[in-house]
Amino acid sequence: MSTSNPEIGRTVRAAGIDTNVHDVGQGPPVLLIHGSGPGVSAWANWRLLVPKLAEQARVVAPDMVGFGYTDRPAGIRYDLDTWVGQAVGLLDTLGIARTDLVGNSFGGALALALAIRHPQRVRRLVLMGSVGVPFPITEGLDAVWGYTPSVENMRRIMDVFAFDRALITDELARMRYEASIRPGVQEAWDAMFPAPRQRWVDAMASPEADIRALPHEALVVHGREDRVIPLSNSLTLAQWIPRAQLHVYPQCGHWTQIEHAARFAQLVRDFLAEARQEEPRAR
């Protein structure tokens, strides 16, 4: 069905959840898992990256349950098991046996858990500003997860995300605010991250031993001035994942994929393409 709303892709049944997904391009699959900002969707998170990756890959970018235009079944539990199950169910429905995996923030925790629980389904792993290891919740993340709808609050939250405040226009703040007040969105938001919020950071962390046992090549990316997820998270991940490399962007907040869009896209493209070139020699 055609639509004028770029946030809406097509609906796919994934682990019993009607999931809004963007599925574009041809080639080796790449699954993109978005972050957890208020009013977020896969399109809002990845709109600058998708066209670049789609030049060489099949890009799959779903709205995780509780976010965007994916259905919110009554009584669903918003937790790691549900979200990882949805992601694996989506791969099954789309006939994708193995995929590259890119996770942003909250999505990084999901990507990490998916790689640990289903290592055979993941080829290479990209973690950007990632949750998934223990850390004391930041003021920035507590404010994001504690968002209550108003244009002013949305503007305040988005100011925390970006290093360059010029990126945060009144129009952008209003668009994200309007996305956050669509029917059912705030109810899901309130159910996901009620105070005290440190427990949700802890619930999304994977065990250190499991992270250290990951066999995958990993690219760990962070903005140096990130006020939502601390840079120390990515330093930890780069130390714990045996085959990890770390890239830190200066003068960058929590929006690496937006604040350094072209450089981030090229970094990810090169990382994934390098793996494909190496695979025939590895056999």
Short-list 50, 241, 16, CA closest to 130? 241
In 90-191, DSSP assigns E strands to: 99-104, 122-128
Q: ∠ CA(162), CA(164), CA(169), 5° rounding?
A: 80
User: What's the CA gap between 154 and 147, in Å, rounded?
Assistant: 8
**Which amino acid, one-letter code, is at 258?**
I
| Residues tagged active-site | 105, 226, 254
Task: Confirm if 121 and 88 have CB atoms less than 8 A apart.
Answer: yes
Backbone angles phi, psi at 86, to 5 degrees: -65, -45
Cα atoms found within 13 Å of the Cα of residue 13, Cβ hemisphere only: 1
